[in-house]
Structure 1
Amino acid sequence: MSAEEDGNPQPPPDYPTYINGPTTWSKTDPNIVQLGSIEVAEIEKGSQHFHQLELDGDEVTPDHFPLPNLRSKLEECALEVHHGRGLCIIRGLRPERYSIEENIVLFLAIASYIGDKRGIQNSKGEVLSHVTESKSWTVPKEKRHGIHTNYSLPFHTDMGCETLCIQVRDRANEGGRTCVASIATIYNDLVRTKPWVLHALAKPDWPIQASFRKEAPFVLGPLIDYHAGNLCISMDPARIGPHPSNRDGSVPDLTQEQQEALIALQETAKKHQTQLDTEPGDIILINNLALLHGRESYLDSDTSSRHLVRLWLRNTRLGWAIPPSMIMPWDAAFGERASKVIDRYYPIVPMPNYIECKYSSGTAAFVADDGFDEWADTVLRGAGEEDDAGPRLEEDA
């Protein structure tokens, strides 16, 4: 389809003809905040202080984990994420120097200077997700969530998240780079080449799988929205339309125009992408409303296992305004819906036994599973730190 055939040679109504600003980049180098030995020593001193207080995961905050000298650098990083290019990497920590639990505490501490709110990532109340493919899992890949395979992942956002925060625990033996692309740059390209795609993405008729299955299984909304002076995107291809295992007609199929628009979006994102070369210990920060991210396929060796730890952040002072059209997944992570999930969990390792999900094998964001009550009975209420959820920093003591 061409702009002439579609009859929409201009962008959608109330959208700009061109977006200019720091998030409009192509193939950029990320801003890297390199931690020196003095700064690492300050982080380790802060860790000692925190452990003396005998607190838990939700209480890893700047007040309880002081970094008086490093604070200014981290605040600059927060500005870069929210009002700069939308991408920053903090480098210099070495995971092998610390225990598994200590690595999580250091991750949470540094992240607390970037965002003061942490989102829950599923209806179980988990604040951390482990993006990896464990060698111990026996559930077939096609029945797992996309982040728990070694397959490539298309460009997407973690729907509901504002700032995506990732700790690199280990790298793959081959491949597995995270790729990022600016929606503002993609938008400017499509205005010139395929404006019909923007009209399709902006229409509020995309069936988005809901976060809680006890209500309607989907809502209709756009994938992009120009709101409060920012172009926002909320898009996970695997969360749009019916889930492959649940084609009962409760969620509409995508139209041909929508399918073609997603293909054009992926192609344009790849054209402008930056591939991140990361190191173990890196903390990657991505403005999830401004940037798409994807992943190369990868191979682990007998001694390597690509392993990222994922955290969703919100900065109540610097964060972008959330478009009303995108409020559903955000509410499940940060809003009123999230506040109804009483217990919050911080799993410090991947689950030893994979629990197959009925509906949530998407690219990034979890969708509530009808099997949650069964999961809660057998795991959360079953007691024992070495259960199927794995050891965690408890929040319900």
Structure 2
Amino acid sequence: MSTTLVLLLLLDNGGALTLQNGDHELAVNSLAVVVVVVVAVVLVVFYKKAVSLVPLGPISGSLAAGPGLPAGFPRAVDSPLVWEGAQFENEKEYVLHMHEADVEEANNALRCFKEFGRQGYEVSRDTFPLPNLGKRLEALKLEIHQGRGFGVVRGLHPEKYSVEDLSMLQLGLQCYIANRHGRQDRKGNMMVHIIADDSSAAAAGHHRHSTNPITFHNEEAGDVVSWMTRSTAASGGRCIIASCYTVYNVLAQDRPDLLRVLAGADWPFALPQFQSRPILFHHEGRLMMNFGRTPLIGNQTHPRCESLPSLSERQLEALDAVEKIARATELAITTKPGDLHFINNLAVLHRRQGFVDGAAAAEKRHLVRMRLRDDQLGWALPDELRNEWYQAFDEHRRSKVWHLVPMPPGYYPLRAQPN
């Protein structure tokens, strides 16, 4: 027999109230009606007010922070950005393979662009038309900004192109993912060449020129980090990524106290300039993470000024926890020459496997990195990150320099840039 009670409120013409439960009726005077209605209205108003305080956005989180969580942060996030590397056993899930017709379409767009004598910074969907491939790239754009947060475009063969043409293909394809390019240092370098370089101690110890492994981090600026692989190392050098959202959920369940540490405003970043700010943000309904160990701890190439604050034991513990969880859930991507990688720099961490170059040019690791932002799908930024984005993407104040090939260290201010 069901224990469910069905209550019906029946108001007759005389103002009497009848509560009906099945075959039983109970008469109640009209005063009770007023009390019930008033209470109901108050509850509805309170409920609507409470719901209106919940931030709307792509994250489906709890209405209230759990014990120990930073104020305003959800107990857990439910998003396509929550993933583990084991989910992507088949690379077809994240690699956009350019078919022969796609490559020919890209080559035609390149010829069209060159015939009009345009400069690289003028590349756009209008000047680099891809009527068919562009639709697939548009789907990837949504994945980068609103989906899993990463993807690879594969199918170009670098040996078939000049350096100039290969660079233009990189710019042409990535303009379908994001329409703005960011400066990567104070000299306005738009393209950074990631190669092994032991010509000086400063170069050999820098992230972009070292052959050593690098821990998980984000770039200092850019919603999207993109790089083309011109050639791969003889061994090692794989790109390895992990979801910030997965890291968050694990910590929210097991160590919410460390999330409070990560969201604290007292992280003493030394590079590119000193700033105390959080590592972890919850802004307009989105989780974001932005950090690197070098700006916080220093290294031989970037010695930390003794006058700057050092990290506390709790902060070091939080960094180690992020690294541990990221490594346990990471995805290692085997890169091929011509691959064009895209990762959401605010939601996906990346690191590099150590590598060994070979004697032949084709066995020397060479990536060309760019930082991107899209006017249509770019994320709203917390105040603490806006200055770095402004320095990178302001269109009116600063020059832009496009080096299509690696240049001597003097062309890049290595000591001022951690990545």
User: Which of the five TM-score ranges fits, normalised by the shorter chain?
Assistant: 0.7 to 0.9
Deviation of 1:127 after TM superposition, in Å, equals: 0.7
In the alignment, what sits opposite 1:96?
Answer: 159
Find out whether 1:294 has 2:361 as its counterpart. Answer: no
In 2 relative to 1, CA 242–155 (structure 1 residues): closer, same or farther, beyond 3 Å?
Answer: closer
Percent pairwise identity: 32
TM-score between the two structures when normalised by the length of structure 1: 0.83
Gaps of 5+ in 2: 1-65
Residue 117 of structure 1 contacts residue 316 of structure 1 at CA under 8 Å; is this kept in 2? yes
Amino acid at match of 1:262: L
In the alignment, what sits opposite 1:66?
Answer: 129
2:78 alignment partner, one of 12, 15, 20: 20
In the alignment, what sits opposite 2:228?
Answer: 167
Residue 168 of structure 1 contacts residue 282 of structure 1 at CA under 8 Å; is this kept in 2? yes
Distance 1:19 1:41 in 2: 42
User: Which range is displaced more, 229-238 or 25-34?
Assistant: 25-34
Distance 1:321 1:50 in 2: 32
Task: State how 1:241-390 maps to structure 2 within 5 Å.
Answer: 241=297, 245-303=302-360, 304-335=363-394, 339-341=396-398, 343-352=399-408, 357=413, 359-360=415-416, 362=418, 364=419
Gaps of 5+ in 1: 1-7, 212-216, 365-397
In 2 relative to 1, CA 344–195 (structure 1 residues): closer, same or farther, beyond 3 Å?
Answer: same
Deviation of 1:279 after TM superposition, in Å, equals: 0.9
**Structure whose CA Rg is larger:** 2
CA root-mean-square deviation: 1.9
Task: State how 1:77-156 maps to structure 2 within 5 Å.
Answer: 77-134=140-197, 137-140=198-201, 144-156=205-217
Give the paired residue count.
346
Distance 1:350 1:171 in 2: 15
Distance 2:391 2:353 in 1: 28
Distance 1:262 1:290 in 2: 16
Residue 196 of structure 2 contacts residue 204 of structure 2 at CA under 8 Å; is this kept in 1? no
Could you list the per-position Cα deviations for residues 216-249 of structure 1 after superposition, in whole angstroms to 9, with x for gaps in the alignment?
x411100010111111011111112556554443
Distance 1:65 1:361 in 2: 32
Amino acid at match of 2:110: S
Amino acid at match of 1:310: R
Deviation of 1:356 after TM superposition, in Å, equals: 8.2
In the alignment, what sits opposite 1:192?
Answer: 253
TM-score between the two structures when normalised by the length of structure 2: 0.79
Distance 2:316 2:240 in 1: 22
Distance 2:232 2:157 in 1: 13
Deviation of 1:352 after TM superposition, in Å, equals: 4.2
Deviation of 1:271 after TM superposition, in Å, equals: 0.7
In 2 relative to 1, CA 356–105 (structure 1 residues): closer, same or farther, beyond 3 Å?
Answer: closer
SS in 1 for 2:415: coil
Distance 2:179 2:411 in 1: 31
Could you list the per-position Cα deviations for residues 73-128 of structure 1 after superposition, in whole angstroms to 9, with x for gaps in the alignment?
11101000001100111111111110111110000000111111111101111111
Residue 225 of structure 2 contacts residue 343 of structure 2 at CA under 8 Å; is this kept in 1? yes
In 2 relative to 1, CA 250–332 (structure 1 residues): closer, same or farther, beyond 3 Å?
Answer: farther
